[in-house]
Chains A and B, each alone.
Chain A
Amino acid sequence: MSGDFNIVGRSVVRQDAYAKVTGQAKFADDYKFPGMLFGVMVRTDVSHALIHSIDYSGLLDYPEVTVCDINDIRGSRKVGVVTADQPVFCYEKIVTPGDVICMLVGADESQLKLLTAKVKTELEELPLITDPEKALDPDATFIHPDKKSNLIVHYPLRKGDVEKGFHESKHVIEQKYTTPLIEHAYLEPEAVTAVPIEGRGGVRIIGSIQNPHTTRRIVAEVLNFPLTKVRVVQAELGGAFGGKDDLMNIISARAAIAAIKTRRPVKVRYTREESVVESYKRHPYIMKYKVGFNDDGIIKAMKIDILADGGAYASMSPFVTWRTVVQATGPYEIENVHTDVRAVYTNNPYTGAMRGFGSPQPIFAQESLMDEIAEIIGVSPYEIRKINGVKPGSITASGHKLRDHDVNLLSVLERAERETNFTERHKECSRSANTKFQTSQKFRGSGFILKKDEMLDNRDIIKKGIGLAVSLRGCSLGAEGIDAAAAYLSVQKDGSAYLISGLAENGQGLRTTFSIIAAEVLGISPEHIYYLEQDTGIIADSGPTVASRSTIMGGSAVKNAAEIIKKRFEEMLLTYWNIKSKDQLLFKNNRVYEQSRSISFSELCSLAYSKGLNMSAIGWFKGPSVHWDEEKGQGAAYFTYVYGCQVAEVSANLLTGEIFVDRIVAVHDPGKIINLMGAKGQVFGGVTQGAGYALWEGITTYNGNIRENNFDQILIPTSKDIGEIESIFLEGEDIYGAWGAKSLGEPTLELTAAAIANAVKNATGLRYFNLPLNPEEILLSRKLSPNDLSRGSTN
């Protein structure tokens, strides 16, 4: 089959490349409208308080300024993708520093920013909850009093009898791991313009929006409009990584309120600082693992207790933590599992969807743990994963039997091991991992002067290490929600075609991928496909562009649309050429062949047009049904899975604690690759962001306030910070997805931090339990940030 492709699997240049390299691509803040006003947010300087009153009298001298607040909302005052707990404008309480009480609207944005100080509030401060471990204390103040609990969600998972499993185990170890709050740091800050449509037609919204249909729903709820009166158009999106969902919905609603009120276009654009303070982040996790195993390496039982800091609002916490409970044991077949995952409300910045979506955290824990198990029973990290890893027919922690696709976990693992000569090098590095470093560590900071033979030789300063991590990842939404997608393809009489899908381009290259799929089916070049601008008015709701689901879901819908049209062409040709079977028809190289004769695709379209053939179709793909038992945490959680293995090679500087990632080898089975160029781009991106997660990134808070509010303090990787990245694809077959094309975006990120942590252990001989592994953690075995003092690595 694979040999028969014309375009699929090759490298195809991005469709939007020309617009992007010339600066012509229009991002949200590049749109201007006549008479446009600006909206500027007013926030308070507290993290948790009751609002007694808001006083606008300071603005009386500025008649040109309009105020929008809770009183301008005709529909829902609180919104949320899962739970409606986030007010568009706060009116009862402030629960986190990003909270907005009102918006000033006027022509002069810089004037409005000064005027925010004139809005006075009377607040009554409440006790803060910033430690998620105290959120469920009996005396804890409720962040949202109407919920009568700070628990956002609790997912149990029970398989077998974990106590019996521990009883049968020779070794039982317990560890605690933590991960930090992470900012998406999409380079384009939030921006949106709402334009009133004449004749009470509603409102048109153009913005940096990840999920236009979700935004439409939220805005319509807030305005109390029918869905059709809110048209959401996606501007070119300057990165999202999961981050332009909830907040963009709310900002869009605020802009829409102002546009309706002033009858003028209203633009809201955030500075970087505003973006950091108000946007949601990746969840910090506190993870306690207890594992029982025997000398043969077989894991008998695993008990997992995970607490996620959901921050002030639920956002995507219920979905993020659900993926965690399904995948918390990693890609291992374990007889007895007992998992509890909880997300709680605190006054910290709220957390939601971010690339990885509840998987990078448990992977860091469980893959660190696997290496420890290997060390205890004296086998290599590769071996321990081979012993416990899932194989075809294995049953996951949630009781799901893996079948209908290539269960390629061991294949990617073996390939990565072979590619890097892992086992041998791991042994080599761990032999030289250095008692000296540990000795010097012991004395560091305790006032001892090192003896001469305890001092480090220059040659000993840089230590090499190698580590690996593996994962299985459920594709698309799974039992989280309705899983279906639409695509519209309209072939024109000259052979060119319009294409659009309900899933949105987030910068990942979706338009190019989908064009390739349609072009492959019709046997034409992808350049003949014109991808339409994303507009909720012209394409059906296809759910959000999240969970690495675009290629598998949207791709299948595009393929379906193209096949519908192809079938119509074939039927027409049966009559036209007077042939009996369409088996001989071949759509290739912009022509259709039948034995010795052929017709160009454009002539075919012109012919079809003259015969009144319907050359437009809406394709649809609905994911196979999945199932979840909420009480036991059992079920076929996802309809299919992908597998990956990454190996990290690092250099650790023992004097400064600096870690340099020399090389990452990423072996992934994403199913069939559609665009090789785009696929490689996903690997570079995911791995680099994963390295940032491992080594530098991390937002810290003080009483809920974020300390790092711009890129001078939020350290995201630059081109100099990472070495070579090598991507290897093992394309497994699957009955789902277009030709078996599945997911890649998130698997590339989720493994890297765990692989690097294992490599650092291999180099330094010390294991670290908290991310990021920054120099102070590595050198001092503790974090220096004040609120992290309690944390710190053991050993």
Chain B
Amino acid sequence: MKEEKEKKEISRREFLGKAGTGVAGSYFILSSLKQAEAVAKENPLQPPETYFGNIQVQLTVNGVKHKVRVHTNTTLVELLRDRLSLTGTKVVCNHGECGGCTVVIDKKAVYSCQMLALDADGKDVTTIEGLLKGEELHKVQQAFIDKDGLQCGFCTPGQIMSAYALLLNNPDPSEEEIKTAMAGNICRCSAYPKIKESVAEAARLLKA
């Protein structure tokens, strides 16, 4: 292993030498050689201790309590995806514009990219993963399947969480109310007519 590494290092230098003459004359400089030596040290497999942050938050996600250390600038979506491996929630714009990261907190649809993990301390968060009970789909999910309210599926978790929040608060929404509630979720495949139908269908299924 070690030998092989040394060999690779040598061949790399030879390569660098050749590259230096081949590439536009003045490009190659000494400091990248030093850098090459620096990187030859074995990388640690684990990220440094400070990587995860040092502030503890406690929150409930989909009914499960979590105690996690975060940074001051860790957002809720980073906490969900990177730390809790709940990757159903998507990062799309990370800018509070598209609704791809929508989760439900206190019956409200929340852009999880715009909420700090610190602010989620003590909260009860529901993500797309929380809607599924065993193998059984939530009615909102079923409606999105039946009415084909998706194409590529990247915005779908956010769409479903927005619809879920709407129906928690308003079990019998009008067409206009559906449109307004779903206006914060962009779908570039533009399955909008079918998304609206899906939400209306979900309301019907939930009432039944």
Residues of A within 8 A of B (CB): 11, 13-14, 16-27, 29-30, 32, 35, 37, 50-57, 59-60, 62-67, 69-71, 74, 91-92, 106-108, 184-189, 236-239, 241, 262, 264, 271-272, 506-509, 677-678, 680-681, 684-685, 687-689, 710-712, 716-720, 722, 724-725
Contact = CB atoms under 8 A, between A and B. Distances in A.
Interface string B149-191: 0111111110010000000000000000001101111111111
Contacts of A53: 26-29
A189 B190 contact: no
A56 B32 CA distance: 6
A187 B89 contact: no
A688 B186 CA distance: 12
A187 B88 contact: no
Given A271-B94, A681-B189, 11 more contacts: A21-B156, A50-B24, A70-B19, A91-B23, A92-B24, A238-B154, A272-B94, A507-B153, A507-B189, A678-B148, A680-B194
Given A23-B129, A710-B93, A65 B39 contact: yes
Interface in B127-143: 127-129, 131-132, 137, 141
A236 B35 contact: no
A71 B35 CA distance: 12
Contacts of A92: 23-24, 27
B188 A239 contact: yes
Most chain B beta-carbon contacts within 10 A, residue among A21, A189, A237, A271? A21
Q: Which secondary structure dominates where chain B touches chain A?
A: loop
A681 B151 contact: yes
B34 A57 contact: yes
Q: Which 8 A-B pairs have the closest CB atoms?
A: A23-B88, A507-B152, A238-B154, A20-B153, A688-B190, A23-B128, A711-B97, A30-B87
Contacts of A681: 148, 151, 189, 191, 194
B150 A21 contact: yes
Contacts of A506: 152
6 contacts: A107-B46, A107-B48, A238-B152, A264-B43, A719-B192, A719-B195
Contacts of A185: 188
Contacts of A62: 38
A16 B85 CA distance: 21
Contacts of A14: 145, 148, 150
B95 A712 contact: yes
Contacts of B196: 719
Given A22-B128, A23-B88, A63-B39, A71 B190 contact: no
A262 B45 CA distance: 11
A64 B27 contact: no
B51 A108 contact: yes
Q: Which secondary structure dominates where chain A touches chain B?
A: loop
Contact of B29 (A54, A184, A678, A685): A54
A21 B144 contact: yes
B35 A67 contact: yes
A509 B189 CA distance: 11
Contact of B92 (A13, A188, A236, A678): A188
B151 A509 contact: yes
A550 B48 CA distance: 47
Contacts of A680: 148, 194
Nearest to B146: A13
Nearest to B23: A91
A596 B151 CA distance: 43
B43 A237 contact: no
Interface in B1-34: 12, 15-16, 19, 23-24, 26-29, 31-32, 34
Nearest to B34: A60
Nearest to A691: B190
Contacts of A57: 31, 34-35
Instruction: Give chain B's interface residue range (CB within 8 Å of chain A).
Output: 35 or more
Given A22-B128, A23-B157, A185-B188, A51 B151 contact: no
A21 B137 contact: yes
Given A187-B152, A722-B192, A64 B29 contact: no
A647 B129 CA distance: 42
A37 B42 CA distance: 13
Contacts of A55: 29, 31
Most chain A beta-carbon contacts within 10 A, residue among B12, B26, B31? B31
A262 B42 CA distance: 9
A18 B129 CA distance: 12
B38 A63 contact: yes
A16 B145 CA distance: 9
A60 B46 CA distance: 20
A322 to B, nearest CB: 27
A65 to B, nearest CB: 7
B35 A56 contact: yes
A22 B129 CA distance: 6
Contacts of B195: 719
A91 B16 CA distance: 13
B145 A187 contact: no
Contacts of A17: 144-145, 148, 150
Interface string B34-60: 110011010111111001000000000
B192 A688 contact: yes
B15 A238 contact: no
Interface in B54-86: 85-86
A22 B188 contact: no
Given A108-B51, A711-B93, A684 B194 contact: yes
A763 B100 CA distance: 36
A27 B97 contact: no
B25 to A, nearest CB: 9
B16 to A, nearest CB: 5
Contacts of A239: 151-152, 154, 188-189
Given A51-B27, A681-B194, A23 B35 contact: no
A171 to B, nearest CB: 39
A764 B132 CA distance: 51
Nearest to B16: A71
Contacts of A60: 31, 34-35, 38
A20 B23 CA distance: 47
B154 A711 contact: no
Contacts of A56: 31-32, 34-35
Nearest to B148: A677
B107 to A, nearest CB: 20
Contacts of A689: 188, 190
Contacts of B15: 71, 74
B9 to A, nearest CB: 11
Nearest to B50: A108
A63 B41 contact: yes
A410 to B, nearest CB: 28
A54 to B, nearest CB: 7
Nearest to A11: B148
B27 A711 contact: no
A107 B46 CA distance: 8
B189 to A, nearest CB: 5
B98 interface: yes
Nearest to B26: A52
Contacts of A65: 39
